[in-house]
Amino acid sequence: MVACALAVLALQGCNYSFRSGSFPDHIRSVAILPFENDTNRFDLTQELHEQLLRELPRSLGIVNAGEEVADALVRGRITNYGLTTPLFRPGQQDEIEVLQRQVSLRVQIEIVDLVQNVILFENSSLTTQGEYLEESQDEATGRTLAIELLVQRIIDGAQSNW
What CATH number does residue 61 fall under? 3.40.50.10610
How far apart are the C-alpha atoms of 51 and 155, rounded to whole Å? 12
Residue 149: inside a domain, yes or no? yes
Residue 5, pLDDT score: 47
The residue range of the domain holding 139 is 21-160
Residue 67: inside a domain, yes or no? yes
Residue 138: inside a domain, yes or no? yes
Of the pLDDT bands very low, low, confident and very high (cuts 50, 70, 90), residue 131 is: confident
Instruction: Say yes or no to pLDDT of 66 above 90.
Output: yes
DSSP bridge partners of 96: 90
**Cα–Cα–Cα angle for 150, 156, 158, rounded to 5 degrees:** 105
Amino acid at 159: Q
Residue 54: inside a domain, yes or no? yes
Alpha carbon distances (Å) from 88 to 85, 95, 105:
7, 10, 21
Residue 63: inside a domain, yes or no? yes
Reported in sequence order, the residue ranges of 41-95 that DSSP labels E, i.e. its strands, are 63-64, 72-90
Residue 1: inside a domain, yes or no? no
Reported in sequence order, the residue ranges of the chain that DSSP labels E, i.e. its strands, are 29-32, 36-37, 63-64, 72-90, 96-113, 118-133
How far apart are the C-alpha atoms of 35 and 64, rounded to whole Å? 16
CB neighbourhood size of 128 (10 A): 19
Structural domain count, the chain: 1
pLDDT mean over 2-16:
45
Residue 105: inside a domain, yes or no? yes
Residue 4: inside a domain, yes or no? no
pTM, full prediction: 0.78
**What three-state secondary structure class fits 151?**
helix
DSSP bridge partners of 101: 132
